[in-house]
Amino acid sequence: MESQNHFDVIVIGGGAAGLTAGIYLSRAKMKTLILNEGAIGGQMVLTHEIANYPGVESINGYELARNMKSQAQKFGCIIKSNLKITELDLNNEIKKVIVNNKDTFTAHSVIIATGGRSRTIGAIGENEFKGKGISYCATCDGDFFQDKEIIVVGGGNSALEEAVSLTKYASKVTIVHQFDHFQALQHYVEEAKAHPKIDFIMESKIIEFIGSEKLEKVKIQNQKSGDIIEMKIDGVFIFIGYVPNTERLEGIVDLNEWKEIIVDKNMATNIPGVFAAGDSIAKRYRQVTTAVADGTIAALSAAEYVNNLKKELILT
The 3-state DSSP class for residue 142 equals helix
Contact of 200 with 179, CB cutoff 8 Å = no
Calculate the dihedral angle through the C-alpha atoms of 11, 59, 52, 301, rounding to the nearest 10 degrees: 20
| Helical axes 16-27 vs 288-315, angle rounded to 10° | 40
What is the CB-side half-sphere exposure of residue 114 using CA atoms within 13 A?
A: 19
What domains can you pick out in the chain, each with its CATH number? 3-117+242-315 (3.50.50.60), 120-238 (3.50.50.60)
Tell me the C-alpha distance between 218 and 211, whole Å. Answer: 9
Helix, strand, coil percentages for the chain (3-state, nearest 5): 30, 30, 40
Give residue 1's pLDDT: 46
Between the CA of residue 309 and those of 89, 176, 276, 314, what are the distances in Å? Answer: 18, 54, 19, 9
DSSP string, 56-105: -S-B-HHHHHHHHHHHHHHTT-EEE-S--EEEEE-SSSSEEEEETTTEEE
What count of Cα atoms within 13 Å lies in the side-chain half-sphere of residue 74? 7
278 close to 289: Cβ distance less than 8 angstroms: no
Count of Cβ atoms closer than 10 Å to residue 194 Cβ: 9
Q: How far apart are CA 91 and CA 133, in angstroms?
A: 44
Residue 169 has a CB neighbour count (10 Å cut-off) of 18
Check residue 316 and give its pLDDT: 62
Predicted TM-score (pTM) of this structure: 0.81
Element containing residue 294 per DSSP (H, E):
helix 288-315
Find how far residue 82's CA is from the centre of its chain. Answer: 18
Question: Cα(133)–Cα(288) distance, rounded to whole angstroms?
Answer: 20
Q: What is the pLDDT of residues 149-180, one digit of tens each?
A: 999 999 999 899 999 999 999 999 999 999 99
Q: What is the pLDDT along the chain (316 residues), one digit of tens a residue?
A: 457 899 999 999 999 999 999 999 999 999 999 999 988 999 888 776 788 899 998 898 899 999 999 999 999 999 999 999 999 999 999 999 999 999 999 999 999 999 998 899 999 999 999 989 999 988 888 999 999 999 999 999 989 999 999 999 999 999 999 999 999 999 999 999 999 999 999 999 999 999 999 999 999 999 999 999 999 999 999 999 889 999 999 999 999 999 999 999 999 999 999 999 999 999 988 889 999 999 999 999 999 999 999 888 787 6
